[in-house]
Structure 1
């Protein structure tokens, strides 16, 4: 029963719709009616601005981190990653926002932070590098998810200081989350192929879209 309660708490933490609540409270907007219609960090940046975007990013990461830490905080033997996964499902299908949520990237990062802070830093560095190279959040998220998944198999053997031991549960969840991230980005993939995907205003390819429009 205790394990079920912890998993439920993890889901409820993940279900906190940061973008929706911040949009309604401070901007009187339902972010799901603007931009991509997504309630996650990227659309928040695009629709509500930097301050709101950073706030949602931090909140979404912390949801995953706190949920993953619940077994430790509540003295349970339940694997941390299961509760982190519950938070990811809550973020994607939030009960507090009619089950219409984000794409799970930030909350997945929060799960990694709760699981292994050093591996989180490593993963965040991968994302940052590809964001600078591509200037595209969606593409960077998908590439990073693949590389992070591969890293769960490789790092324990070549860089144990980052990931000390192979954890089959981490690798299996990484594969599942990566597949889910690709599924949630199916519209973005189409826009990337068409050359119409939005780019951030920094990085090596920030001006590509502007040039194509001239």
Structure 2
């Protein structure tokens, strides 16, 4: 973590602003606007892009993916411009928490992968790029989206070290732990060998 140099009130504002931005459930907003129904009553009930894809609307899923990533990135950029790196990390972490636990949805949010990657891209671009590449490679090899997400999250802190961003290591570790927590059901299915593969048949 970078040194805490910003005023306490500034850090609190970054925390609150990041959380509110991250808590916007873009998946639900998009599916409602397109008349695709209540996302919480579809598939897994998750508000992320993967569940939006279960509506059959690829454009809606793509838009959700981009916007969920963008809200983390925007939180980081705004905080950095107003204050500095300490506020940027706090705002990014808060946006991630907002996506996972949005107050508007009784704290039942998404799994955070897109927001995690978007936040990293804005916070430490080379690290974020490496994390995205890790996801792509793991998805190509394993053909399981959740496994790719877990591998990407678990190795992000290593990329931070390798790429000279030791200040982002703690940030990556904390967010990775939360990604694993939110993927508890997926991990259980991975162990049982029942986790669906990318492009595989449902059920």
RMSD over equivalenced CA pairs, Å: 1.9
| 1:40 corresponds to 2:48 | yes
Bigger radius of gyration, 1 or 2?
A: 1
Query: 1:93 is matched with which residue?
Result: 101
> What is the Cα deviation at residue 198 of structure 1?
2.0
Query: 1:8 is matched with which residue?
Result: 16
Q: Which has the higher contact order (CA 8 A, sep 6+)?
A: 2
CA deviations over 1:122-141 (Å, ceiling 9, x no partner):
21111000001111110111
Query: 1:60 is matched with which residue?
Result: 68
Taking structure 2 as the reference length, what is the TM-score of the superposition? 0.88
> What is the Cα deviation at residue 28 of structure 1?
4.0
SS for the counterpart of 2:34 is helix
1:172 to 165, 170, 173: 170
User: In structure 2, how many angstroms separate the alpha carbons of the residues matched to 1:55 and 1:186?
Assistant: 26
Distance 1:196 1:52, change over 3 A: same
CA deviations over 1:141-178 (Å, ceiling 9, x no partner):
1111112222223x1xxxxxxx33421xx211212221
Q: May I ask how many residue pairs the two structures share in their alignment?
A: 195
Runs in 1 of length 4+ with deviation above 6 angstroms? none
Taking structure 1 as the reference length, what is the TM-score of the superposition? 0.83
Query: 1:74 is matched with which residue?
Result: 82
CA deviations over 1:51-98 (Å, ceiling 9, x no partner):
111100000010000001122232456431111000001001112333
Query: Is the 8 Å Cα contact of residues 32 and 39 (structure 1) preserved in structure 2?
Result: yes
Distance 1:113 1:147, change over 3 A: same
User: In structure 2, how many angstroms separate the alpha carbons of the residues matched to 1:78 and 1:177?
Assistant: 16
User: In structure 1, how many angstroms separate the alpha carbons of the residues matched to 2:56 and 2:20?
Assistant: 25
Query: Is the 8 Å Cα contact of residues 60 and 106 (structure 1) preserved in structure 2?
Result: yes
Query: Is the 8 Å Cα contact of residues 3 and 76 (structure 1) preserved in structure 2?
Result: no
Distance 1:10 1:175, change over 3 A: same
> What is the Cα deviation at residue 2 of structure 1?
3.1
